[in-house]
C-alpha cells in the first residue's frame, strides 16, 4: 500500500510516517517544502507521481492565536487545502484521513462532545478547521475525519515541553484550570489512525487518549512523572487573556471509534508517563 503523508515535518506527521513505515507500507512523507497543500497543481503532480492508495493529511496551520490575525493563511491551509486533497483523492481513487480538532465546538456542552453534535467554533482556527471538514465531506472521496485534541509528543512545540522548560526556570507555575479536554499522545494517535484507516469504515471520528482533565491537571501530571517538585497553582482563563478564545469544555466522546477499533486508547496519564520516560528522561540522561 502506498501512503502519502502531508505536513510530514510536523508533530503528528512524523509519527504517522513512522507508524506506516513500521507496518511495512510504502510511505511517502512530504514536508511543506516538498508539497504545499494549498497548491492545486503541486497536489496533482504528487498524486500522479506517487499514485497513493491512502493520503494522511497532517498539514495544518496550528497557531491558534496567530490565526486571529493571519486569517487568510489559516483558511488556506486548514479550510481550502483539505478540499483540494479530497478532490484529488476522488479523482485518483485514494482514501483520505483528514485530521481535525476539538476546537470545532463552542465548549458550552456539559458533557463530552459526540460526533453528531453541531460544531460552532469560537475562534478563527476552529472555523478554518470546520471549513476543511466540510470540504472533505463535499468532495465525494472515501474519507475518515479524525478530530483530536491537546496533542503532545516528540519533535513538536507542545504543552508538555513548555511545562518542563518553565519548571526549570520558576518555583511555581500558574496554569489554567477551567478548560477541560483530553491530552493526546501523537504515537497513540498515529496508531489509532493507521488502525482506523485499515477498516474501510469511513466517516467522522473522535480520537484522544482516554480520560479528561484540565490544563492544570495535565501540568501536575507532567511534573509528577518527571519527578519535579515545581508547584502548580490553578488559575482561570480570564487571568490569562489570549488573542483567541478557547472552548471551556472540549472533551470528545470516543464513540464509535472505540467500537470500530475494538479497544480504547491508553489513558492520558499512561501516555504522559510513556512520553516522559522515553523522551524527556532519556534526553536528560544523555
Q: Which is nearest to 180 in space by CA: 257, 237, 256, 122? A: 237
* Residue 62 interacts with ligand NAP (CB under 6 A): yes or no: yes
* Residue 232 interacts with ligand NAP (CB under 6 A): yes or no: no
- Residue among 7, 29, 79, 112 that touches ligand NAP (CB under 6 A): 7
Catalytic residue of the set 28, 103, 125, 143: 125
Nearer to ligand NAP, 102 or 188 (CB): 102
Q: Which of positions 73-92 make contact with ligand NAP (CB under 6 A)?
A: 77
Q: How far is the CB of 68 from ligand NAP (least distance, A)?
A: 15
* Residue 156 interacts with ligand NAP (CB under 6 A): yes or no: yes
Catalytic residue status for 125: yes
- Cα 281 to Cα 271: distance, rounded to the nearest angstrom: 14
- Residue among 5, 50, 59, 97 that touches ligand NAP (CB under 6 A): 59
- Residue among 4, 99, 175, 276 that touches ligand NAP (CB under 6 A): 99
* Residue 101 interacts with ligand NAP (CB under 6 A): yes or no: yes
- Residue among 37, 75, 163, 175 that touches ligand NAP (CB under 6 A): 37
* Residue 213 interacts with ligand NAP (CB under 6 A): yes or no: no
Q: Which is nearest to 47 in space by CA: 79, 84, 12, 20? A: 84
Catalytic (active-site) positions: 125
What is the binding site for ligand NAP (CB under 6 A)?
6-7, 9-13, 32, 35-38, 58-62, 77, 99, 101-102, 129, 148-151, 156
Amino acid at each position: 500500500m502506498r501512503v502519502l503523508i502531508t505536513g510530514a515535518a510536523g508533530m503528528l506527521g512524523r509519527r504517522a510516517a513512522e507508524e506506516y513505515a513500521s507496518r511495512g507500507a510504502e510511505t511517502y512523507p512530504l514536508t511543506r517544502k516538498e508539497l504545499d497543500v494549498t497548491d492545486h497543481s503541486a497536489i496533482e503532480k504528487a498524486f500522479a507521481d506517487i499514485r497513493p492508495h491512502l493520503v494522511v493529511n497532517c498539514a495544518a496551520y496550528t497557531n491558534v492565536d496567530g490565526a486571529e490575525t493571519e486569517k487568510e493563511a489559516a483558511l488556506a491551509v486548514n479550510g481550502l487545502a483539505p478540499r483540494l486533497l479530497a478532490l484529488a483523492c476522488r479523482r485518483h481513487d485514494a482514501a483520505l484521513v483528514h485530521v481535525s480538532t476539538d476546537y470545532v465546538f463552542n465548549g458550552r456542552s456539559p458533557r463530552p462532545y459526540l460526533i453528531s453534535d453541531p460544531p460552532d467554533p469560537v475562534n478563527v482556527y476552529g472555523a478554518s478547521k470546520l471549513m476543511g471538514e466540510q470540504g472533505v465531506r463535499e468532495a465525494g472521496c472515501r474519507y475518515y475525519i479524525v478530530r483530536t485534541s491537546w496533542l503532545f509528543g516528540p519533535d513538536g512545540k507542545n504543552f508538555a515541553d513548555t511545562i518542563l522548560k518553565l519548571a526549570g526556570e520558576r518555583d511555581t507555575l500558574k496554569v489554567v484550570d477551567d478548560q477541560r479536554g483530553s491530552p493526546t499522545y501523537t504515537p497513540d494517535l498515529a496508531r489509532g489512525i493507521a488502525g482506523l484507516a485499515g477498516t474501510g469504515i469511513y466517516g467522522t471520528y473522535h480520537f484522544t487518549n482516554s480520560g479528561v482533565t484540565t490544563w492544570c491537571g495535565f501540568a501536575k501530571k507532567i511534573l509528577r512523572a518527571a519527578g519535579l517538585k515545581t508547584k502548580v497553582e490553578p488559575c482561570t482563563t480570564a487571568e490569562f487573556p489570549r488573542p483567541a478564545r478557547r472552548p471551556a469544555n472540549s472533551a470528545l466522546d470516543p464513540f464509535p471509534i472505540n467500537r470500530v477499533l475494538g479497544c480504547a486508547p491508553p489513558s492520558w496519564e499512561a501516555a504522559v508517563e510513556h512520553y516522559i520516560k522515553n523522551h524527556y528522561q532519556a534526553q536528560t540522561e544523555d
